[in-house]
Structure 1
Amino acid sequence: MQNEVWLRMGSFITVLALMMIWEAMFPNRTSPVASSKRWLSNFFLVFCGALVGRLVVPAGLAVVAILADQHQFGLFNVVAMPLWLAIALAVVALDCLIYWQHRVFHRVPILWRLHRVHHADPHLDASTGLRFHPVEIGLSIVVKAIGIYLLGVPIEAILIFEITLNASAIFNHSNIKLPNWLENPLRKIIVTQAMHRIHHSQVVNETDSNFGFCLSIWDRVFASYTQRAKKGDDGLVLGLKEYATESRNTGIGTVLLMPFRKTPKMKEP
């Protein structure tokens, strides 16, 4: 696991570069805000999130798995099974954990104030998959650390999960549209762009659906799946109504302070 940092960084840069090239060549829709302004805000949040991650768990989540193993604590340290099976089940279990974390962040008002930074983006592209407030990143790391310790997750599973989670977030937020022959079967397994765009709709009951990050099964199992937006994929209006103007959704200071400011009032039509 000595090469963990390089594996994570290499996969992150590779997936991000590929998706940004893909959406630049075959964009699904045009951004209402200049890409340079959005990217500056979104990638600044990535930098802040990385700093917070190092402050919350300086040695990384792997150390939590090592502690659980040393104490022989957690499901996968108690129940005997082949390592490959423990890794596979652990990755699936962590994906389910992130699904429920996501739902909770939508339901609890104080957590929604943090998560709305992500939803306030008026456009979706690869950078949106990285647009999370650093405080939310810190809380997410704590949730994952608790889950890893309670489950006794194998250290190998953490690397696989973190790479998969980051790649999935970049992939399903990308500004592309898969052909139906690929979209329909693929979304039965993983979260696709069209499926996740519904989650970023300004229609509240659509926003409160399709919470999955990687596997799409959780939304079906836990009754939060929306197959099609009311106005269809092309008719979706993205973002949050109260943050529809550029001055409210873009800018380094704007996105950092958004959770701590009062929700703007919507202008009457």
Structure 2
Amino acid sequence: MVKRGRSFWGALGFGAAVGALFLLERMRPLRSRKEPGAARVGRNLTIALLAGATTAASEIPLVSPVQRLAERRRLGLLRRLPMPGALRVVLGFLMLDYTLYVWHRMNHRVPFLWRFHAVHHLDLDLDSTTGLRFHFGELALAAGFRALQILLLGIDADTLRLWQQLLIVSVVFHHSNLELPADAERRLVMAIATPRMHGIHHSTRPEELDSNFSSLLSWWDRLHGTIRLNVPQAAITTGLREFQSPEDVTLERSLALPFADDRRLAHSLLHTKHGFGAGRRDFQH
């Protein structure tokens, strides 16, 4: 009963946060739009509903049993190392976030993973609904990766829940089209991914697409030299270079893309393979 109550209030809080961002980004837009709002938002939310159903379905047969197994048999790195409980939570949080950075980079490198992740990058505009727009196949694969994180790292259920709750809010926030005061964003980006930072990652330009992979903490891009900040938002064309027509991003084509024999998909993957680069670390305009 307590767990169900926490889930309810967590979902309510998340819904309120998304709703607030949705309104604020329309009052203070960071980037101009290319597509009419209603049709695009409806498409993104439909993709999001399918992804959400997939995530919920994968928790019961995969993630939850692995969590119980790891706890029962004390599996994973953090359970093997003697340390205070608070330190275990902090390290678990950081390890989850870092390995998600690695997973995101893998999605831009491995052809099979890119077929699904490319659907997220098809969006011709970028706002809070893009943060929910992930192909259901990508979420199914991510559930398997999440199980590996739990099993190998030794992440306890409370740490996982805390990280996931903050992560999903962060993902919606940094995909949003909300124009923050430059000084505020300059401070925020020292610690977390922000709208200007992640907007660069959704650029059609290969060197910009191949940057800013962090999903919550921005430290991992700084660590690996993949951070790129000083790009004016007005200079960014959002989406994939090979899929810039509205006909390319319909709901039907978005859902079918991972299974389609489309040479443009392979070509778009080549644009992401630039390796670790010396990113531009100065602040964006």
TM-score computed with the length of structure 1 as normaliser? 0.92
Q: Which is further off, 15-24 or 53-62?
A: 53-62
Counterpart of 1:100 in structure 2 is 102
Superposed CA deviations along residues 53-75 of structure 1, whole A, max 9, x for unmatched, are 23333267454333211001112
Counterpart of 2:40 in structure 1 is 38
Unaligned runs of 5+ in 2: 268-285
C-alpha contact 1:8 1:159 (8 A) present in aligned 2: no
Alpha carbons of 1:140 and 1:8: their partners in 2 closer, same or farther (altered >3 Å)? farther
What does residue range 13-162 of structure 1 map to in structure 2 within 5 Å? 13-58=15-60, 61-162=63-164
C-alpha contact 2:31 2:233 (8 A) present in aligned 1: no
Counterpart of 1:213 in structure 2 is 215
Counterpart of 2:170 in structure 1 is 168
Alpha carbons of 1:24 and 1:171: their partners in 2 closer, same or farther (altered >3 Å)? same
Counterpart of 2:277 in structure 1 is none
* Residue 9 of structure 1, CA deviation: 1.5
Counterpart of 1:241 in structure 2 is 241
Counterpart of 1:258 in structure 2 is 257
Task: Report the identity percentage.
Answer: 31
Counterpart of 1:228 in structure 2 is 230
C-alpha contact 1:86 1:154 (8 A) present in aligned 2: no
Counterpart of 1:179 in structure 2 is 181
Superposed CA deviations along residues 86-131 of structure 1, whole A, max 9, x for unmatched, are 1221111111111110001101122111111111101000000011
Amino acid at match of 2:242: E
Alpha carbons of 1:264 and 1:78: their partners in 2 closer, same or farther (altered >3 Å)? closer
Superposed CA deviations along residues 124-149 of structure 1, whole A, max 9, x for unmatched, are 00000011110001111110111111
How many Å separate the matches in 1 of 2:263 and 2:46?
22
Amino acid at match of 2:143: I
How many Å separate the matches in 2 of 1:168 and 1:180?
18
Alpha carbons of 1:12 and 1:53: their partners in 2 closer, same or farther (altered >3 Å)? same
Amino acid at match of 2:255: L
Unaligned runs of 5+ in 1: none
Amino acid at match of 1:242: E
How many Å separate the matches in 2 of 1:6 and 1:78?
34
Superposed CA deviations along residues 186-212 of structure 1, whole A, max 9, x for unmatched, are 101001111111101110111011000
TM-score computed with the length of structure 2 as normaliser? 0.87
How many Å separate the matches in 2 of 1:214 and 1:57?
22
How many Å separate the matches in 2 of 1:8 and 1:38?
27
Alpha carbons of 1:63 and 1:12: their partners in 2 closer, same or farther (altered >3 Å)? farther
How many Å separate the matches in 1 of 2:7 and 2:216?
21
How many Å separate the matches in 1 of 2:87 and 2:65?
21
Alignment RMSD: 1.8
What does residue range 185-196 of structure 1 map to in structure 2 within 5 Å? 185-196=187-198
C-alpha contact 2:62 2:144 (8 A) present in aligned 1: no
Q: Report the count of equivalent residues.
A: 263
Amino acid at match of 1:131: R
C-alpha contact 1:76 1:86 (8 A) present in aligned 2: yes
How many Å separate the matches in 2 of 1:177 and 1:56?
35
C-alpha contact 2:18 2:172 (8 A) present in aligned 1: yes
* Residue 173 of structure 1, CA deviation: 0.5
C-alpha contact 1:74 1:153 (8 A) present in aligned 2: yes
* Residue 11 of structure 1, CA deviation: 3.0
